[in-house]
Structure 1
Amino acid sequence: MKREQIFEFFRRLAELNPSPETELEFGNHFQLLVAVVLSAQSTDVGVNKATRALFREVKTPEQMVALGEDGLKEHIKTIGLFNSKARNVIALSAILVRDHGGEVPADRDALTALPGVGRKTANVVLNCAFGAETFAVDTHIFRVGNRTGLAKGKTPLAVEKQLEKKVPQPFRVGAHHWLILHGRYICKARTPECWRCPVVDLCAFKDKVLQKGGKAKA
């Protein structure tokens, strides 16, 4: 995808959704961090169902530590991998209290040093909490980047590097939200809904599904 096409790609997505946001529900930076950690290999819908009651009770890392691992498990037992996630959330909460004054650091290295926090999670937190120009490449962004020709790469990091290089202003802060939402609701994994895609003419995908009810080629 050429530079002019990339600008037009994001211009159209921005026109349709001027203020894109994560679909995770949270009330502060700490709750955002917890929600993103819990969302690994889980849906945002499932995480939100589990955290609504939790976040009414727990708003700080101090309160999370006080809740304890068993107490946290009761809240998140409907989420996949809840045992390891509970262990990580309690551990990272203790580190935030001990080393960061109970605050979420605005630094990728400090974030990825926390248990259960990888590069993707750190990028989401930096973007959503601090407005950083980061690109959190999940399965949706990886698919959209490769399928459309926007940012091709064999690994999430390779796609992230392409996005860092190619995404222009003024779209850099919102880009990963637009791409996630596009992949979640239109450019779906099994059958992309190209027939209602606002950027279909810019997309390099050869097997477009241009009719509602059509099937993608295997």
Structure 2
Amino acid sequence: MNKQTRLAIFDRLAAAIPDPTTELNYGSPFELLIAVVLSAQATDKGVNKATAKLFPVANTPQAILALGEDGLKEYIKTIGLFNSKATNIIKLCEALIQHHDGQVPQSREALEALAGVGRKTANVILNTAFGLPTIAVDTHIFRVANRTGLAPGKTVLEVEKKLDKSVPPRHKKDAHHLLILHGRYVCVARKPRCPDCCIADLCGFKEKTR
């Protein structure tokens, strides 16, 4: 895929998705961090339902530590893997207080050092909370990048690096959410909605649906 086609793809996605942002509900970088940690192998809708009850009670590291691990579990028990997530969130809050004055750090290295935070979560926080042009490759982005030919790769890291090099500069900040939302609602896994797709004529997918 050439540079002009990539630019046209992102221009069209940006026109079709005028407000590309996360569907997780949050009011601060810390709330976003907790929501993203909870969202692993869970739906945004499910996470939002749990955090709607959790955040009014505890939305700081200190408040979550005051709840304790068992208290936290009561709020997130509807979310998959809630036991391990609760353990990680408690450790994460302790680290934020000990090393970052209770604030969410703005570097990838510091974020990845937190319990339950990997490269993908760190990229989401850097992009969504702090406005940096990072791209977190989840299942939707991995599928769209490979299916369209935008940035084919066998691993998440390979796709991330290709997107990092090839996304047009003016779309770099929003590319993450443009691709996620396109993958979530149009370029879906089982039966992509090719007739409704704004980039169908630019896409390299050979088995387009009719």
Give the TM-score category using the shorter length: over 0.9
2:139 maps to 139
1:213 maps to none
Distance in 2, Cα, partners of 1:154 & 1:17 = 27
Structure 1 gaps of 5+ residues are 211-218
Q: Output the amino acid matched with 2:93.
A: S
Structure 2 gaps of 5+ residues are none
TM-score (norm 2): 0.99
1:59 maps to 59
1:15 Cα offset (Å): 1.0
Distance in 2, Cα, partners of 1:204 & 1:12 = 16
Kindly report structure 1 stretches of 4+ aligned residues shifted beyond 4 Å: none
2:199 maps to 199
Identity %: 61
1:12-69 CA distance string (max 9 Å, x none): 1111222211000011000000000000011101110111010111121111111111
Match of 2:201, SS?
A: helix
Match of 1:57, SS?
A: coil
2:159 maps to 159
2:19 aligned with 1:34 = no
Distance in 2, Cα, partners of 1:192 & 1:41 = 21
Q: Output the amino acid matched with 1:88.
A: N
Distance in 1, Cα, partners of 2:144 & 2:34 = 26
Distance in 2, Cα, partners of 1:60 & 1:149 = 42
Instruction: State how many pairs are aligned.
Output: 210
TM-score (norm 1): 0.95
Q: Output the amino acid matched with 2:104.
A: V
Q: Output the amino acid matched with 2:35.
A: A
Q: Output the amino acid matched with 2:182.
A: H
2:149 maps to 149
1:2 Cα offset (Å): 1.2
1:88-119 CA distance string (max 9 Å, x none): 00110010011100000000000000000000
Match of 1:204, SS?
A: coil
Distance in 1, Cα, partners of 2:16 & 2:188 = 18
The aligned runs of 1:59-208 (5 Å cut-off) are: 59-208=59-208
Superposition RMSD in Å = 0.6
Match of 2:169, SS?
A: coil
Distance in 2, Cα, partners of 1:59 & 1:115 = 17
